[in-house]
Amino acid sequence: MHAAEHGEEGTKGSCDMDPRTDATNRWCQTLGIERPQLEAVALHPEANAYSMLIVALLERGEAMTLEQVAHRFARAGIARASDALASLSRCRPARPPVYRDGDGYYLDPHDDELDLWVFRLGLRPPRLTPSPQAAKPPPPPPPSPPSVAVTRDELLEAWKDASLYTWSAQRIVLAVLDATGGPAEPAEVVAFVRGCTQYELSSRATAQFGRPGCPVVVLRDGRWAIAADAEDALVAMRKVVRARLETVRRWASARPDPSLVRQNIEALRLRRVEHGAALAKLKETLIIAHPAKAPRAVALLDVAGHTIETFVDEELARVPERLSAFDLIGAIDVRPLLRMLRFEPGDRRLAELGPPQKTKKLNRRGRTLKITTEMLVSGSCGISRPLGDPAKLDGYLAAGAISKLRARLEANVKSLHALFEYGRLHAAVRLRWGFLDEFLPAPWVCRDEPTLHDLKEAALRANAPLDVVVGTAPGWSDPWSRAQRAWVAKPPTDWRSVLVDAGGFQIVEEEIQRARLAGAALPPHEPTRER
The pLDDT value recorded for residue 519 is: 64
The pLDDT value recorded for residue 363 is: 81
Residue type, 240: V
- CATH no., domain 152-254: 1.10.10
Q: At what angle do helices 152-159 and 231-254 cross, to 10 degrees?
A: 60
> Distance (Å, rounded) from C-alpha 140 to C-alpha 253?
11
The pLDDT value recorded for residue 8 is: 40
499 in Cβ contact with 509 (< 8 Å): yes
The pLDDT value recorded for residue 362 is: 86
The pLDDT value recorded for residue 367 is: 87
The pLDDT value recorded for residue 255 is: 72
Question: With a cut of 70, which residues of the chain have pLDDT below it?
Answer: 1-18, 20-23, 129-140, 493-494, 519-531
465 in Cβ contact with 473 (< 8 Å): no
Q: Which residues contact 184 (CB under 8 A, 6 or more apart)?
A: 176, 177, 223, 224
The pLDDT value recorded for residue 98 is: 93
The pLDDT value recorded for residue 521 is: 39
Sign of CA dihedral 40, 41, 43, 48: negative
The pLDDT value recorded for residue 6 is: 41
- Residue 302 φ/ψ, nearest 5 degrees: -90, 110
User: Three-state SS for 161?
Assistant: coil
Classify each residue of 490-525 as buried b or exposed e, where b means 16 or more C-beta atoms within 10 Å of its C-beta. eeeeeeeebbbeeeeeebebeebbbbbbbeeeeeee
Could you tell me the strand order of the sheet in which 307-312 lies? Answer: 307-312, 297-302, 284-290, 328-331, 349-352
The reply to whether the predicted model has a pTM over 0.85 is: no
> Distance (Å, rounded) from C-alpha 178 to C-alpha 113?
56
Taking alpha carbons only, the member of 48, 76, 52 closest to residue 64 is: 52
